[in-house]
Chain A
Amino acid sequence: GDSVTQMEGPVTLSEEAFLTINCTYTATGYPSLFWYVQYPGEGLQLLLKATKADDKGSNKGFEATYRKETTSFHLEKGSVQVSDSAVYFCALSEYNFNKFYFGSGTKLNVKP
Protein backbone atom coordinates (compact mmCIF):
# COMPACT_ATOMS: atom_id res chain seq x y z
CA GLY A 1 0.00 0.00 0.00
CA ASP A 2 0.87 3.65 -0.12
CA SER A 3 3.11 5.07 2.59
CA VAL A 4 5.47 7.91 3.43
CA THR A 5 8.67 7.70 5.44
CA GLN A 6 10.46 10.76 6.72
CA MET A 7 13.52 11.26 8.83
CA GLU A 8 13.29 11.08 12.59
CA GLY A 9 13.56 14.27 14.53
CA PRO A 10 14.11 16.49 16.21
CA VAL A 11 16.43 18.38 13.92
CA THR A 12 18.25 21.22 15.65
CA LEU A 13 19.99 23.91 13.59
CA SER A 14 21.45 27.32 14.12
CA GLU A 15 19.90 30.28 12.36
CA GLU A 16 21.04 30.64 8.71
CA ALA A 17 22.03 26.97 8.47
CA PHE A 18 21.02 24.79 5.52
CA LEU A 19 18.08 22.48 6.06
CA THR A 20 17.29 19.09 4.55
CA ILE A 21 14.46 16.88 5.75
CA ASN A 22 14.35 13.57 3.92
CA CYS A 23 11.13 12.02 2.67
CA THR A 24 10.63 8.86 0.63
CA TYR A 25 7.41 7.31 -0.50
CA THR A 26 5.80 4.13 -1.72
CA ALA A 27 2.84 4.37 -4.07
CA THR A 28 1.00 2.11 -6.46
CA GLY A 29 0.16 4.82 -8.98
CA TYR A 30 1.26 8.35 -9.76
CA PRO A 31 0.85 10.37 -6.59
CA SER A 32 0.99 14.05 -5.88
CA LEU A 33 3.45 14.96 -3.12
CA PHE A 34 3.14 17.59 -0.42
CA TRP A 35 4.89 19.17 2.51
CA TYR A 36 2.82 20.51 5.37
CA VAL A 37 4.00 22.58 8.33
CA GLN A 38 2.48 22.67 11.80
CA TYR A 39 3.34 25.52 14.15
CA PRO A 40 2.75 25.02 17.88
CA GLY A 41 -0.92 24.98 18.79
CA GLU A 42 -2.08 25.18 15.19
CA GLY A 43 -3.36 22.92 12.46
CA LEU A 44 -1.31 21.76 9.50
CA GLN A 45 -0.75 24.24 6.69
CA LEU A 46 0.14 23.36 3.13
CA LEU A 47 3.72 24.50 2.50
CA LEU A 48 4.34 23.28 -1.04
CA LYS A 49 3.40 20.56 -3.49
CA ALA A 50 4.43 18.83 -6.69
CA THR A 51 2.05 16.87 -8.85
CA LYS A 52 4.34 15.04 -11.28
CA ALA A 53 7.85 13.74 -11.66
CA ASP A 54 10.64 16.37 -11.81
CA ASP A 55 8.31 19.14 -10.64
CA LYS A 56 9.76 21.44 -8.00
CA GLY A 57 7.47 22.89 -5.37
CA SER A 58 8.57 26.05 -3.59
CA ASN A 59 7.24 28.48 -1.02
CA LYS A 60 8.73 30.81 1.62
CA GLY A 61 12.27 29.79 0.65
CA PHE A 62 11.53 26.07 0.99
CA GLU A 63 11.90 23.76 -2.00
CA ALA A 64 11.31 20.10 -2.79
CA THR A 65 11.73 18.20 -6.05
CA TYR A 66 9.62 15.19 -7.02
CA ARG A 67 12.15 12.45 -7.81
CA LYS A 68 10.41 9.43 -9.24
CA GLU A 69 13.62 7.46 -9.79
CA THR A 70 14.48 7.61 -6.09
CA THR A 71 10.85 7.93 -4.86
CA SER A 72 11.86 10.94 -2.83
CA PHE A 73 10.62 14.44 -2.06
CA HIS A 74 13.23 15.98 0.25
CA LEU A 75 12.54 19.38 1.78
CA GLU A 76 15.32 21.97 1.63
CA LYS A 77 15.90 25.55 2.67
CA GLY A 78 19.11 27.46 2.20
CA SER A 79 18.99 29.58 5.35
CA VAL A 80 16.60 28.76 8.18
CA GLN A 81 15.19 31.27 10.62
CA VAL A 82 13.99 30.89 14.21
CA SER A 83 10.46 31.37 12.90
CA ASP A 84 10.82 28.16 10.85
CA SER A 85 10.75 26.11 14.06
CA ALA A 86 7.79 23.76 13.60
CA VAL A 87 6.88 20.19 12.72
CA TYR A 88 7.07 19.29 9.04
CA PHE A 89 4.99 16.54 7.47
CA CYS A 90 5.54 14.89 4.11
CA ALA A 91 2.42 13.50 2.45
CA LEU A 92 1.20 11.89 -0.73
CA SER A 93 -2.15 11.61 -2.42
CA GLU A 94 -3.27 9.39 -5.21
CA TYR A 95 -5.49 11.48 -7.47
CA ASN A 96 -8.25 8.96 -7.88
CA PHE A 97 -8.66 8.39 -4.18
CA ASN A 98 -8.44 11.87 -2.69
CA LYS A 99 -6.93 10.29 0.39
CA PHE A 100 -3.69 11.47 1.93
CA TYR A 101 -0.94 9.45 3.55
CA PHE A 102 1.16 11.43 6.02
CA GLY A 103 4.63 10.77 7.33
CA SER A 104 5.24 10.80 11.07
CA GLY A 105 6.47 14.39 11.11
CA THR A 106 9.91 15.90 11.75
CA LYS A 107 10.32 18.53 14.40
CA LEU A 108 12.69 21.37 13.51
CA ASN A 109 14.23 23.55 16.19
CA VAL A 110 16.16 26.61 15.01
CA LYS A 111 18.34 28.35 17.57
CA PRO A 112 19.30 32.02 17.34
Chain B
Amino acid sequence: DAGVIQSPRHEVTEMGQEVTLRCKPISGHNSLFWYRQTMMRGLELLIYFNNNVPIDDSGMPEDRFSAKMPNASFSTLKIQPSEPRDSAVYFCASSPAGGDYGYTFGSGTRLTVV
Protein backbone atom coordinates (compact mmCIF):
# COMPACT_ATOMS: atom_id res chain seq x y z
CA ASP B 1 0.00 0.00 0.00
CA ALA B 2 1.43 3.36 -1.03
CA GLY B 3 -0.15 5.19 1.89
CA VAL B 4 -1.80 8.59 1.67
CA ILE B 5 -0.33 10.50 -1.25
CA GLN B 6 -0.22 14.27 -1.30
CA SER B 7 0.95 16.59 -4.03
CA PRO B 8 2.82 18.77 -4.43
CA ARG B 9 5.31 18.37 -1.57
CA HIS B 10 6.26 22.01 -1.76
CA GLU B 11 4.43 24.97 -3.25
CA VAL B 12 5.60 28.56 -3.44
CA THR B 13 3.14 31.05 -4.82
CA GLU B 14 2.52 34.75 -4.90
CA MET B 15 -0.14 36.42 -2.85
CA GLY B 16 -3.46 36.50 -4.70
CA GLN B 17 -2.83 33.35 -6.71
CA GLU B 18 -4.99 30.25 -6.55
CA VAL B 19 -3.46 27.21 -4.89
CA THR B 20 -4.73 23.63 -5.18
CA LEU B 21 -3.50 20.85 -2.93
CA ARG B 22 -4.24 17.24 -3.80
CA CYS B 23 -4.70 14.08 -1.81
CA LYS B 24 -5.18 10.41 -2.65
CA PRO B 25 -6.37 8.44 0.41
CA ILE B 26 -5.66 4.80 1.09
CA SER B 27 -7.95 2.54 -0.89
CA GLY B 28 -10.85 1.35 1.24
CA HIS B 29 -10.61 4.17 3.75
CA ASN B 30 -13.90 6.01 3.82
CA SER B 31 -12.95 9.02 5.92
CA LEU B 32 -10.63 11.81 4.78
CA PHE B 33 -9.32 14.74 6.77
CA TRP B 34 -7.48 17.96 5.93
CA TYR B 35 -5.27 19.51 8.61
CA ARG B 36 -3.11 22.61 8.72
CA GLN B 37 0.00 22.80 10.89
CA THR B 38 1.77 25.99 11.94
CA MET B 39 4.14 26.83 14.75
CA MET B 40 1.69 29.29 16.24
CA ARG B 41 -1.50 27.23 16.10
CA GLY B 42 -0.28 23.66 15.97
CA LEU B 43 -2.50 21.12 14.19
CA GLU B 44 -5.89 22.40 13.08
CA LEU B 45 -8.61 20.26 11.53
CA LEU B 46 -9.97 22.12 8.52
CA ILE B 47 -12.57 19.72 7.15
CA TYR B 48 -13.40 16.05 7.02
CA PHE B 49 -15.37 13.80 4.71
CA ASN B 50 -17.16 10.50 5.28
CA ASN B 51 -17.94 8.53 2.13
CA ASN B 52 -17.04 11.58 0.02
CA VAL B 53 -19.54 13.81 1.84
CA PRO B 54 -18.28 16.80 3.85
CA ILE B 55 -19.29 16.26 7.47
CA ASP B 56 -17.67 19.12 9.34
CA ASP B 57 -16.08 22.15 7.72
CA SER B 58 -16.18 24.37 10.78
CA GLY B 59 -12.39 24.54 10.79
CA MET B 60 -12.15 26.11 7.35
CA PRO B 61 -10.80 29.55 8.17
CA GLU B 62 -12.52 31.63 5.52
CA ASP B 63 -14.48 31.51 2.31
CA ARG B 64 -11.18 31.61 0.47
CA PHE B 65 -10.77 27.95 1.43
CA SER B 66 -12.76 25.20 -0.24
CA ALA B 67 -12.44 21.42 -0.35
CA LYS B 68 -13.93 18.77 -2.57
CA MET B 69 -13.97 15.02 -2.72
CA PRO B 70 -15.43 14.05 -6.11
CA ASN B 71 -14.77 10.34 -5.56
CA ALA B 72 -13.37 7.93 -3.00
CA SER B 73 -9.82 8.19 -4.31
CA PHE B 74 -9.26 11.92 -4.64
CA SER B 75 -9.68 15.16 -2.72
CA THR B 76 -8.57 18.74 -3.24
CA LEU B 77 -8.11 21.71 -0.97
CA LYS B 78 -8.19 25.04 -2.77
CA ILE B 79 -7.22 28.49 -1.56
CA GLN B 80 -8.33 31.41 -3.70
CA PRO B 81 -6.94 34.00 -3.36
CA SER B 82 -3.96 32.96 -1.28
CA GLU B 83 -2.45 35.20 1.41
CA PRO B 84 0.91 35.09 3.24
CA ARG B 85 -0.83 33.99 6.47
CA ASP B 86 -1.91 30.81 4.67
CA SER B 87 1.72 29.65 4.70
CA ALA B 88 1.76 26.34 6.58
CA VAL B 89 2.10 22.61 6.13
CA TYR B 90 -1.16 21.05 5.00
CA PHE B 91 -1.73 17.39 5.81
CA CYS B 92 -4.26 14.98 4.45
CA ALA B 93 -5.16 11.87 6.45
CA SER B 94 -7.51 8.96 5.90
CA SER B 95 -9.02 6.25 8.06
CA PRO B 96 -11.41 3.31 7.86
CA ALA B 97 -14.83 3.60 9.43
CA GLY B 98 -14.89 3.93 13.18
CA GLY B 99 -12.79 5.99 15.53
CA ASP B 100 -10.42 3.42 16.98
CA TYR B 101 -8.34 2.59 13.92
CA GLY B 102 -6.28 5.75 13.84
CA TYR B 103 -5.46 8.00 10.97
CA THR B 104 -2.83 7.49 8.31
CA PHE B 105 -1.26 10.82 7.40
CA GLY B 106 0.31 11.89 4.15
CA SER B 107 3.71 13.55 4.08
CA GLY B 108 2.16 17.00 3.76
CA THR B 109 2.38 19.95 1.40
CA ARG B 110 4.53 22.85 2.57
CA LEU B 111 2.86 25.99 1.24
CA THR B 112 4.67 29.32 1.15
CA VAL B 113 2.78 32.40 0.00
CA VAL B 114 5.04 35.37 -0.71
The answer to whether B99 and A98 touch across the interface, beta carbons within 8 angstroms, is yes
CA of A99 to CA of B47 in the docked complex: distance in angstroms?
10
| B100 interfacial contact with A, CB 8 Å | yes
The residue among A31, A36, A98 with the most chain B CB atoms within 10 A of its own CB is A98
Contact between chains at A32 and B100 (CB < 8 Å):
yes
- Segment at the interface with A among B11-19, B61-69, B72-80, B102-110: B102-110
B residues in contact with A99, CB < 8 Å: 45, 48, 56, 99
* CB-contact partner of B100 in A44, A95, A104, A105, under 8 A: A95
- Chain A nearest CB: distance from B24 CB in Å? 14
Interface residues, chain B, with chain A CB atoms under 8 Å away: 4, 31, 33, 42-43, 45, 48, 50, 56, 91, 93, 95, 97-100, 102-108
Counting residue pairs across A and B whose Cβ atoms lie within 8 Å, the total is 55
Q: Given the interface contacts A44-B105, A100-B103, does A105 sit within 8 Å of B95 by beta carbon?
A: no
Q: Measured between C-beta atoms, what is the minimum distance from A64 to chain B in Å?
A: 14
Binding site for B on A (CB under 8 A): 31-32, 34, 36, 42-46, 49, 51, 89, 93-100, 102, 104-105
User: Are A89 and B43 also in contact (CB < 8 A) when A32-B100, A98-B31 are?
Assistant: yes
